[in-house]
Structure formats: structure tokens, C-alpha cells
Amino acid sequence: MEAYLVDWLSLLLRWAHLVVGIAWIGASFYFIWLDNHLEPSADPKLSGDLWAVHGGGFYHAEKFKGAPPQMPARLHWFKWEAYWTWITGFFLLVLVYYAGAELYLIDPSVMPLSKPVAISIGIGSLIISLVVYEAICRSPLAEDDAVLGSVMFLLLAAAAWGLCQVFGGRGAFIHYGALLGTIMVANVAHIIIPGQRRMVEALAAGRAPDPKDGAAGKQRSVHNTYFTLPVLFTMISSHYAFTFGGRWNWLVLVALTLTGGLIRVWFVMRHKGRAPAWPVVTGLGLIIVLGIFMSPGTEKSLQSEVKFHAVKSIIDARCLGCHAPKPTFQGLNEAPKGVLLDTPERIRAQASMIYSQTVIGKAMPPGNLTQMTVEERALLERWIRGGAKLD
């Protein structure tokens, strides 16, 4: 019953996280688009304006230089989308990766950690990343966006490497996404919204708003839009074990972070009316190179035939506790995702899943709880690549 309730809680949290995340990212993308599509205005009070048609109606958006001449009767703020995205995401992190740290966070073959230590490192990585980010954004480096961006990328690459040296691949990837998400929501909570409040207060008091607040808010909004695609990748990465399960998983994370950033660069350029091909070509090139680099080898050892009885003995010992009609693993009432490995036919039917999740990705068994050896994974690989025969 407890596992059933946890599944429901996980579902509701994940659903809520997705809904509020879409609201936040959608608003972020829209305002970046809007800012880059503003037309010059004859009104000296305006930075620009834009006419648009959508949903059967016409809209007229105006952006003021600093603030409007008087306070509007009602002012809409965009903040709770960001706050609730982080809140639901953090509770989901606690429910899945901290409560189940021995399954999804800790990998003894990477670093043998106790559960409290692993959780402390996970939370600490979020705090330290935010402190470092704020420090460089408040330093002279922030005066040059190109220099600041380069330094940030190098620090993110270091964070990706460090997390992958401490946690299992799945836990490392999700914490990388979590630290980016934490930085993004902190930008909203500590820079963008406070700056906007000061602008509103200045307007209400009859003072000219400080232009530094607007400039800082825009800079952090741009950072957030470049972080968005890498965060979305880490959210879906757990479905693709080959990305986080290999030896060079940190390099995969760095490459796909750069790819996501380049794709956003292209979109921002396109919004401004000039969209050279190099960001997209470079991003796609990185993915192609990554795919080739990660492709399975063709070692001669793969040529030797493997008998199915050897494969079944591994599956029975390492996998059947969960993937049986009546699992014996504590807390499971049914096989995860309905995957059954209790008969030869079912094992062969799941050969591609076994290859991606167990051989290449090493995501299964979770946390390697059943102690599957390197030799056993190699034997499974030889069987699958040899045609997954049952004789």
C-alpha cells in the first residue's frame, strides 16, 4: 500500500511540475520573443511596440523605457510559475532521488556513499552552484556577456564532471538540471522581481526608476532562456540510459548543454531578424559526433556465441526479483513499467531494452543493488549482438 501511495504522489508531483514548468518556460520564451520583435516607436517614452494577432483577436504590446508615466490600475507579475516549478521539482527530487537514494542516486561503483552523505552532497551542490553563479554575476566579469558566458560554461562543465564522479549517472544528470533550475528561479526571486518592485516603488513615489534594475533583470532573463533547453534535456534523460550510463557521461552532459544553448542562440538571432546557420550546424554536428563517439564497438570478443541458459541464469539472479509477475523485491507489487523477464520469450522480447538499460546505460539494476558484474553485462551484450538466440 505504501508503494502505491508513493506512486500516486510521484505522479501528481510530476504532473504538477510539468504543468507549471510549461507555464514558466512558455512565458519566458514569449517575452524573449516579444523583446526581440519590438518595432521602433515614434513615442520617445517607448523602447518599441508590437502588433500581433492570435486566437481571433488583435493585440498591441508596448515596452516603456524604464517605466510608464503613471502607475496602471492593475499590474500583472510573472513569478509564481517559476516558484512553483522549483517547489514541485524539489519535492519530486526528494521523493524519488533522496527517499530512493540507494536506487537512483548512489552507485557504489562510482563512489560508495551512505544515504545521508549522498543527500547532503546533492543539496550542497545546489547551494554551492548558486553561490558561485551569483559571485561571478556580481563581479567585473558580468560587464562583458561573452566573457561571462564562457566562464559560466567552463564552470558548468566542471559541475557536470564533478557530479558524475560522485553519483550514479541518473542522479548526476538530474542534479545538474536541478542546479540550473535553482539558479533560474533564484534569478527570478532575487534579481528580476526585486528589481521590478523597486521600479514600481520609484514610479509610485514620482522618481525615475534606476535603469540598472532593468538591465540586470534582462541579463538574468537571457541567462534563464539559455539554461532552459539543457534543463529540459536532464528532465527526460532518465528515459535514455545510454546518455548517463556510460564512462563519458559527463562529456555527454556538457555536449548536450552546449547544443541546447546553441539552439537558443539561433532562435534569439532569428527573433532579431538575422539567423546565421552556424549555431544550428554546430549543435547538430555535436550531436552527430556524440552519437558516433558513443556507438558500441565491435570487439572480437563479441563474436563468440553465448548460450541462452547462461543469459537466463544472470536474469534470474539479477533481474527477476523485480521483473516477475509477483516481484519479491520489497515495496513492489508489480513489475516496473510492466516489463516481465520470467520466460525465455519475454527475455528475448526485451532484448533491446536490456541492451540500452543494462548493458550500455547500466541503469539497471537500479543502484546495481543485485551486484551485476562487468563480466555479466559483457555476456548479455554478446548474446544480444549475436542475435538474442534462445538455443
9 in the Ramachandran plot: left (φ > 0), alpha (ψ -120 to 50) or beta?
A: alpha
Same domain, 209 and 344: no
DSSP 8-state secondary structure symbol assigned to residue 263: H
pLDDT at 366: 81
SS (H, E, C) 216-256: HHHHHHHHHHHHHHHHHHHHHHHHCHHHHCCCCHHHHHHHH
Same domain, 140 and 193: yes
Q: How far, in whole angstroms, is CA 25 from its chain's centroid?
A: 13
**pLDDT at residue 301 is higher than 60:** no
State which of 294, 310, 334 marks the end of a domain: 294
Same domain, 135 and 201: yes
Same domain, 40 and 83: yes
Residue 48 inside a domain? The answer is yes
Tally the domains of the chain: 2
pLDDT at 304: 64
Beta bridge pairs of residue 48: 63
Residue 390 inside a domain? The answer is no
The pLDDT tens digits of the residues spanning 183-210 come to 999 999 999 999 888 888 887 777 878 8
Same domain, 196 and 278: yes
Same domain, 219 and 308: no
Q: Which of 5-9, 80-84, 266-270, 377-381 has the highest mean pLDDT?
A: 80-84
Query: Can you give the pTM of this predicted structure?
Result: 0.83
Mean pLDDT of all residues in 322-340: 84
CB 224 within 8 A of CB 230: no
Rg from Cα positions in the chain: 25
Would you state the cell numbers that stand for residue 230, as one nine-digit string?
539543457
CB 97 within 8 A of CB 171: yes
Same domain, 165 and 191: yes
Structural domain for 380, as ranges? 300-385
pLDDT at 299: 47
Distances (CA, A) of 237 to 241, 280, 306: 7, 21, 31
The pLDDT tens digits of the residues spanning 341-365 come to 988 899 989 888 888 888 877 778 8
Residue 376 inside a domain? The answer is yes
The pLDDT tens digits of the residues spanning 53-112 come to 998 899 999 888 767 777 777 888 889 999 999 999 999 999 999 998 988 899 888 899
What does the longest C-alpha to C-alpha distance in the chain come to? 85
CB 372 within 8 A of CB 321: no
Separation of alpha carbons 374 and 37, rounded Å: 55
Pairing mode of beta strands 46-54, 57-64:
antiparallel
Mean pLDDT of all residues in 208-235: 88
Cα-based angle 124, 137, 176 (whole degrees, multiple of 5): 35
Separation of alpha carbons 220 and 258, rounded Å: 18
CB 368 within 8 A of CB 108: yes
Confidence of residue 153 (pLDDT cuts 50, 70, 90): very high
Residue 308 inside a domain? The answer is yes
Mean pLDDT, the chain, as a whole number? Answer: 87
pLDDT at 338: 84
Residue 73 inside a domain? The answer is no
Residues recorded for the chain: 391
Separation of alpha carbons 271 and 38, rounded Å: 10
Same domain, 273 and 320: no
**Run of H or E including 378:** helix 374-385
Mean pLDDT of all residues in 39-55: 89
pLDDT at 278: 85
**pLDDT at residue 3 is higher than 80:** no
Separation of alpha carbons 155 and 159, rounded Å: 6
Same domain, 264 and 364: no
Same domain, 215 and 355: no
Same domain, 139 and 94: yes
Mean pLDDT of all residues in 24-39: 87
pLDDT at 87: 96
Same domain, 124 and 261: yes
